[in-house]
Amino acid sequence: MEQTYYLIIMGALLVEYALSTISSTLNMNSITEKIPDGFQEYYDEEKYSSSQAYLRDKTRFGLFSGTFGLCVTLFVIHTGVFGILDDFSREYSNHSITAGLIFFGILFIFNDIINIPFSIYSTFVIEEKYGFNKTTWKTFLSDKIKGYGLTIVLGSMVIIPVLHFFDAYGANGWWIAWALITGFMIAIQPLFVHVIAPMFNKFEPLGEGELRSSIEEFASKVDFPIGRIDVMDGSRRSAHSNAYFSGFGKSRRIALFDTLLEKHSTDEIVSVVAHEVGHYKKKHVISGTILGILETGLMLFIFNYFMRDQALFDVFGVGEVSVYGGLVFFGMLYSPISLISSIFTTALSRRNEFEADAYALETTEKPEPLISMLKGLAASNLSHLTPHPLMVFLSYSHPPVSERIAAVRET
């Protein structure tokens, strides 16, 4: 059985790496010499050339970091690092939960140390090169410290009860842990709006004026109970433009990046708001949460049958079973299912984006502002206008901008 586990894990790692490498390479090579029809007003030759160079730099960097990550993973698996870490955790504490926290904590620190140089290069070299980076070193370090604090607090809130339930209730632990995680997934929405997001960005109510009046008029027209319409200081970190919807009930928030307000007209921004309201009206947030809950339940249910199989632990050079080790090792064993489910969820996300666009068009009855907004966002973010279908299939949560525009015109 150990050999079977090993082959599944190695196969999943290598297949995922191969798919990522092939799709990224094809995507990088799918650039066109001429600006696609309909975008000449938003891209000149210089800007279009910059978007292609941006794609190549990001892709090559992604290929390098992906290869490095695979090498580190293979090294850790084949040199018994997990066994050494498990022995250290058990020597430091004979309590399973404390040992588990040590185990997870060291893994997190090790992983973060490896990723920090890549994060720095991405932010301060690639994003800086193309004029997107606005992050200072002070902000970068502050974000890191806050992220560590959130990881410790929120991670402990989930990990400690999960380890306890599986230890204390055995075969029944999975559904108790599932209930806990379900509650956390629901609670994290208002927590994100009121606590987490304000830790990293400033949110100010959209001021009185033409834009707010137009948004309120639209909201009244479609019977959308506005929670909050906020302007977020996205320019503090990046010149990229965006908007998002989050939260449930009174915690609903539409957040508009300040960079969005600087570059687009009232009608265009209302079309963005209409798109975000479309996600709410079509219940995309709720359905996505439910899907995540069901997937988590499935994973925990299957994990229940593998968590104490010594053969799985033998693959990683760990001599004694544990719930915390089982969670990490099963995650790798589960990766083929994760890969398939991720393809499904990204396809669902792309469908949701089409639905939200259709809703925005239906309710605003103004196709041109929506189209010009899509083109403007693509241009300001130096988006790839002709992505390869394999890359879209595997990882695009949003349809290519040309497909979204075509769908709007056909509606």
Neighbours of 102 (CB within 10 A): 19
State how far the alpha carbon of 142 is from the alpha carbons of 147, 163, 200, in Å: 8, 31, 9
Query: CB–CB of 30/387 below 8 Å?
Result: yes
Task: Report long-range pairs for 289-293 (Cβ below 8 Å, ≥24 apart).
Answer: 289/185, 289/186, 289/189, 291/345, 291/348, 292/185, 293/178, 293/181, 293/182, 293/185
Strand runs labelled E in 190-266: 203-205, 228-232, 243-246, 253-257
Distance from C-alpha of 181 to C-alpha of 191, rounded to nearest angstrom: 14
**Measured in Å, how far apart are the chain's first and last C-alpha atoms?**
54
Q: Residues near 82 by Cβ (< 8 Å), separated by ≥ 6?
A: 76, 316, 317, 318, 325, 328, 329
Residue numbers annotated as active site: 276, 357
Nearest alpha-carbon partner for 185 in 154, 225, 220: 154
Distance from C-alpha of 83 to C-alpha of 274, rounded to nearest angstrom: 53
Three-state DSSP state, 381:
coil
Query: CB–CB of 8/333 below 8 Å?
Result: yes
State the pairing for strand pair 203-205/228-232: antiparallel
The torsion angles phi and psi of 68, rounded to 5 degrees, stand at -65, -45
| Residue 7 exposed, middle or buried by CB count within 10 Å (0-12, 13-18, 19+) | exposed
The torsion angles phi and psi of 209, rounded to 5 degrees, stand at 150, -170
| Residue 53 exposed, middle or buried by CB count within 10 Å (0-12, 13-18, 19+) | middle
Distance from C-alpha of 253 to C-alpha of 226, rounded to nearest angstrom: 8
